[in-house]
Structure 1
């Protein structure tokens, strides 16, 4: 399975994955180069970069430039193009900075691209649909939020559930943690937002 990291300008320490490809979202392209990682291509309107920086970038990798005045965000354009080639797309730095941008990225995932993963240095957000998942003990806290009428089971957690039916109004599946090296989550029906975080 092919994996791509979309690196946004707010990315700080980018995880090194030898099996993944790195794609720059606007000025996030320079975050990739600063960490001496190979960049596949760059995409965005590049309004946050100088013309000299943009021309320099074009000498390093393919650049897909879009108008500043557009309906889509740079992140959405990047996600759309990246799914043409890659199976797993991780939007990195998507949970940092302005709250409206964070909400926009989460909405983008829920409403249009439920298979993308949102990450930054301390948090990870994804949509879990019907299926079985293993969660490693990489994060201190794990929360679930139903996106529709759903049924969920999980074990290996401080608080476990067995075939619990939950709705959007149920807000008690928060601030859980693993008590084993990995937890098993099974979505029997519906879909839930899974938020893993090391933030205090």
Structure 2
């Protein structure tokens, strides 16, 4: 086991890949509804599970298969960590708490090194708004990869896009869908198939124009020319 605090070393940890896979789940230490987690993993099986610090406790409690453990372990019950050290062969990468990047950020680098099609981050939304916002921000690093990355809990599924895309109503996460500009502007935004359509609009950071829309057609279209768009699919 190795303690590192420099980002170059953190990136090295991210290169400990298992080979290409389809879906990766990052289980972090925020709020996790166990019933939702089990139902989600049944519907969206993940070939690799990376547990981040306190997220390991959720996996332990539910008896989930764990493929990798990472973190500074400042929020995990010592007895849980010791169990995996003594009774499993799961690779563990430990870092000092005094580091430049969050545990979930490091885990995302590791997940991206697997070159998956989809990455799901669960337990990344919680009572610490700074960590929640940080986890939203790290979605940006996945844009240059081929992996679609989602931050989600039982009420929200959050993703980013830097190009036009379509949304199928049958695959939507909830009844409501909101769009916010992650960059200063999102230019020439057109929404088709929504309750509140837009046409050739420049969406400006700091406004609430895109909040709480609904899909009304079988397929809805989100088209824009420039910028990064944050999409939040929500349900009560």
With the length of structure 1 as denominator, give the TM-score of the two structures.
Answer: 0.86
Displacement of 1:181 after TM fit? 4.3
Residue segments in structure 2 that go unaligned for 5+ positions in a row: 1-20
The 2-side partners of 1:25 and 1:79 are apart by 10
Displacement of 1:113 after TM fit? 4.0
Residues 4 and 82, structure 1, Cα contact 8 Å, conserved in 2: yes
The 1-side partners of 2:69 and 2:215 are apart by 38
**SS at the partner of 2:133?**
helix
Q: Does 1:161 align with 2:227?
A: no
The structure in which a higher percent of residues are helix is 2
2:234 alignment counterpart: 197
The 1-side partners of 2:125 and 2:47 are apart by 20
Distance 1:93 1:49, change over 3 A: closer
Residues 5 and 92, structure 1, Cα contact 8 Å, conserved in 2: yes
Distance 1:168 1:99, change over 3 A: same
2:3 alignment counterpart: none
**SS at the partner of 2:113?**
coil
The structure in which a higher percent of residues are strand is 1
Q: Does 1:100 align with 2:130?
A: yes
Displacement of 1:44 after TM fit? 0.6
CA RMSD of aligned residues (A): 2.2
Mapping for residues 19-38 of structure 1, pairs under 5 Å = 19-38=46-65
Q: Does 1:118 align with 2:118?
A: no
Residue segments in structure 1 that go unaligned for 5+ positions in a row: none
The 2-side partners of 1:24 and 1:160 are apart by 40
Displacement of 1:175 after TM fit? 1.0
Deviates more, 1:87-96 or 1:23-32: 87-96
Residues 55 and 123, structure 2, Cα contact 8 Å, conserved in 1: no
**SS at the partner of 1:39?**
coil
The 2-side partners of 1:96 and 1:49 are apart by 16
Residues 7 and 92, structure 1, Cα contact 8 Å, conserved in 2: yes
The 1-side partners of 2:50 and 2:128 are apart by 22
Tell me how many residue pairs correspond in the alignment. 198
